[in-house]
Structure 1
Amino acid sequence: MTIQDSGTARPAGRPRSEKAEKAIIDATLDLIGEGMGVSELSIEAIASRAGVGKTTIYRRWSNKEDLVVDALSTLKAPLPPLSGISVRDDLISLLDAMRKEAGQARTRCVMNIALGEADRYPRLMERFVKRAVEPRRQALRSVIERGVANGELRSDLDVDLAMALFSGAMMWHTKWGPPGDLPLDLAERVVDTVLLGLAGERATS
């Protein structure tokens, strides 16, 4: 697994070891998942867990925050393919990706611990949002705007508020809902419920 470029400069001409990168990423996630916050996390601890030297890490990441951002980003699944045929179907695909991610206990644990220190590490949070959250946010916005344009959604729709309704409902279930596995049809139920108030003339005709 090759970690995508995070904007951190790496020395030219030095080959990258995918095996070493995976070990470093896994070690970072393991340590966080065991309860080590970002403030406690150290390059020394990561290197020891990964079985590499600190210089191996610094050749790839200039600092701890850059490494944590890359590690957290690997927990985010790729955006699902969207058919572009039905706004409803595309919304269900996007929201179901949230359900699947939230269903992984390790992912939830790591995210909660790492992002719980966002106030102390604003740059980390800013970069994580830009890298892992913003593409999903933009995909949701594009689908809703398409629905407004083609009449599936109301012409006077507040797009930002609609985004909050969809994602907020999913986040309530994934973070504060009843314990246990999330229902397989959760995304479909959320989308259909919200669409009752957002449907345009084309959808209701």
Structure 2
Amino acid sequence: MTIQESGTARPAGRPRSEKAEKAIIEATLDLIGDGMGVSELSIEAIASKAGVGKTTIYRRWSSKEDLIVDALSTLKAPLPPLTGVSVRDDLISLLDAMRKEAGNRRNRCVMNIAMNEADRYPRLMERFMKRAVEPRKEALRSVIERGIATGELRADLGVDMCVAVLSGAMLWHTKWGPAGDLPSDLAERVVDAALEGLAP
């Protein structure tokens, strides 16, 4: 379950316990979800909630920041497979993954609390964005660029603006839309509304 930076070799020594790592990750997310901000969160509190010693945590993560980045990254599901057949279908797949992530109330609460401290912990947020958010933005960019190249989308489109329009509409619904479960066809409706202005 350990999440490591690409190309980082696991250090030699005592084998790691996946059960302990999962307990530590879950304890970190639970504490944040219960309202404990990043600045208040301590290795001692995480160890106590996870039922492990502090040394167990420090054997796996060199700092609280490293642990929080890994914990937040687990909230992001893997990118969905894209068919490459239709820009519309691929955009719906990517946005529907956002809908499903946001549908978990506990995860949404954790992300909101963590992001509220982005200004105080810029390096932490920069690392999280690079690991968990940028791959999703790049996937959207690549689908839009493909759509421009195939003629499915207008040739004069600004790719970054298209990414902002699509992801921004989903974020609005997940953060400020009507209370309750997000409709299962939300991604399809957002994409179809956007394509009215993006298509040739």
Instruction: Give the TM-score taking structure 2 as reference length.
Output: 0.96
Question: 1:172-187 alignment to 2 at 5 Å?
Answer: 172-187=172-187
The question of 1:164 aligning with 2:164 is answered yes
Distance in 1 separating the partners of 2:37 and 2:160: 32
Deviation string for 1:17-52 (max 9, x for gaps)?
111100100110111111111100000010111111
Question: 1:8-47 alignment to 2 at 5 Å?
Answer: 11-47=11-47
SS at match of 1:117: coil
Distance in 2 separating the partners of 1:72 and 1:35: 15
Unaligned runs of 5+ residues in structure 1 are 201-205
> Cα RMSD (Å) of the superposition?
1.3
Structure 1 segments, 4+ long, off by >4 Å, are 7-10
Deviation at 1:10, TM superposition (A): 5.8
| Residue 191 of structure 1: aligned partner | 191
Question: 1:1-205 alignment to 2 at 5 Å?
Answer: 2-6=1-5, 11-200=11-200
SS at match of 2:76: coil
- State the AA in 2 paired with 1:195: L
| Residue 203 of structure 1: aligned partner | none
Matched positions, count:
199
Deviation at 1:14, TM superposition (A): 2.8
Percent identity of equivalent pairs? 81
Distance in 1 separating the partners of 2:152 and 2:29: 42
CA contact (8 A) 1:10 1:59 kept: no
Distance in 1 separating the partners of 2:142 and 2:115: 27
Deviation at 1:75, TM superposition (A): 0.7
Distance in 2 separating the partners of 1:3 and 1:154: 42
Distance in 2 separating the partners of 1:87 and 1:3: 34
SS at match of 1:3: coil
